[in-house]
Amino acid sequence: MTNDIILAGLGQTDVGEHWDIGLRDLAFAAIQDALHDAGGLKPQALYVGNMLAPNLSRQAHLGALLADFAGLRFDFAQHSAGIEAVTVEAAGASGGAALRQGYLAVKSGLVDVALVVGVEKMTDVVGAGVEEALATAADSDYESVQGLTPTAQAALLMQRYMHEHNVPADGFAGFALTAHANGAGNPHAMFRKAIKPEAYAKAEPLTPPLNMFDAAPNADGAAALVLTRRELLPSNWPHPLVKISASATASDTLALHDRKDPLFFEAAYLATGRAIKQAGITLDQIDFFEYHDSYSIYAALSLESSGFAIRGHGWKMAADGRIARDGNLPCATLGGLKARGFAGGATGVYQAAEAAAQLRSQAEACQVKDARVGMIQSLGGPASTAVVHILERIER
């Protein structure tokens, strides 16, 4: 027995504004695709990553809802076992946290096959209501009560970073340029068109110094994964094998002002270190990195906090092309949050599905050459929660 945990099934919906489809239907589409891709494996547990359904869709208890809607409930007539189903919430890291729960359940041996789904419906509310809901990920008593939004918080971090490290006005442009260049080849991405430096330079300000290309668009979407142990796969398994080599998480203060250094993501540092140790590899063995680029400043800080860049130099990796698909550390290889879209609690599951597609050599126009090891990092708020997974292609 190898006890390798394999990503056996992958499913994704297009990311965008799905005005004509409800939360459960969106999740069901991804679940169907993942179960089909998994070749008939039957899950015993369902872990749902979601951030805002109680606020935006007026729907909690998604575990039971989606298990029921997907036909995974107990069936007396067929004598089929009912699936256990729960929702996992960790703000923008909800999908990554749900994946970790699925991994732990299968790794423990208590569950043979787990289904992980991330889903979010941003368009169930329009206007300021979305920002109000997103602000619930911050400290209610000390941050959001003052009117601080996630975008304003990111702008403050970016302004401080630019001041401390003497970053030029266009210093963060490389993150958006890379994301959109890669997203152009992703059929599920919200934005599938590359942009030029001039477009970034002329972009309307959002919350200075952030402009519209420095923030990922809020969007609807669902992604799903089927996890199992290697020895439970059928002998005629058709896909390349992608295993989860490591799963780790860490937490930091919820309120940004309580941190000794707001420009260092301590949780990302700890989770990455734990994952690297668990996988038994070094950072230079990672072939690509799917960071959580909900804002350009988060991408820079993730590169630094994870150890890929020294302090104050994360933005330079984007400026000089090191994070491009042909660079030494390809990032946001299918567009990241910036071009694919920020589907809230579904983000971490999208990251895993995209990374697995890379390692299966199924990323088509977005394929990273000779990719064998990938790292994904999901953040809740400004890395108040960080979840890191390392995925690896292995031989049969």
The answer to whether the beta carbons of residues 185 and 307 sit under 8 Å apart is no
Residue 80: pLDDT band with limits 50, 70, 90: low
pLDDT tens readout for residues 317-371? 999 999 999 999 999 999 999 999 999 999 999 999 999 999 999 999 999 999 9
Alpha-helical regions (H) of the chain:
23-37, 62-69, 94-108, 128-134, 150-165, 173-183, 197-202, 266-279, 296-305, 314-319, 336-340, 347-359
Q: What is the largest CA-CA distance in the chain?
A: 68
Q: Which whole number is the average pLDDT over 83-110? A: 97
What CATH number does domain 132-215+245-394 carry, 3.40.47.10, 3.30.1280.10, 2.60.40.10, 3.20.20.70?
3.40.47.10
Q: Which residues pair with 10 in a beta bridge?
A: 225
CATH 3.40.47.10 is the classification of domain 5-127+218-241: yes
Q: What pLDDT was estimated at residue 238? A: 92
In 3D, which of 172, 183, 173 has the Cα closest to residue 325?
Answer: 183
Residue found by looking up tokens 């679940």 in the block: 31
CA atoms in the 13 A half-sphere facing the CB of 376 = 30
Q: Report the pLDDT averaged over residues 103-121.
A: 97
Contacts of 100 (CB under 8 A, 6+ apart): 247, 249, 387, 389
Give the pLDDT of residue 82. Answer: 74
Higher pLDDT, 80 or 126: 126
Q: What ranges do the domains of the chain cover?
A: 5-127+218-241, 132-215+245-394
How far is the C-alpha of 333 from the C-alpha of 115, rounded, in Å?
A: 24
- Tokens found for residue 219: 């969007």
Q: What is the DSSP string of 193-241?
A: ----HHHHHHPPEEETTEEGGGBPPB-BEEEEEEEEEGGGS-TT--SPE
Q: Give residue 74's pLDDT.
A: 61
Angular region, 369: left φ>0, alpha ψ -120 to 50, beta rest: beta
- SS (HEC) of 303-328: HHHCCCCCCCCHHHHHHCCCCCCCCC
User: What's the rounded mean pLDDT across residues 270-278?
Assistant: 98
CA atoms within 13 A on the CB side of 88: 29
Q: Are 376 and 389 in contact (CB under 8 A)?
A: yes
Alpha-carbon distance of 228 to 107, in angstroms, equals: 8
Cα separation values, 251 from 30, 51, 88, Å: 29, 17, 15
pLDDT above 70 for 302: yes
Q: Which residue matches tokens 């090891």?
A: 373
DSSP 90: B
The pLDDT tens digits for 146-204 are 999 999 999 999 999 999 999 999 999 999 999 999 999 999 999 999 999 999 999 99
pLDDT at 1: 47
- Which amino acid would we find at residue 108? S
Claim: this prediction has a pTM higher than 0.75: yes
Q: To the nearest whole percent, how much of the chain has pLDDT over 90?
A: 93
pLDDT for 131 beyond 60: yes
Do 5-127+218-241 and 132-215+245-394 come out as alike in CATH topology? yes
pLDDT (0 to 100) of residue 2 = 65
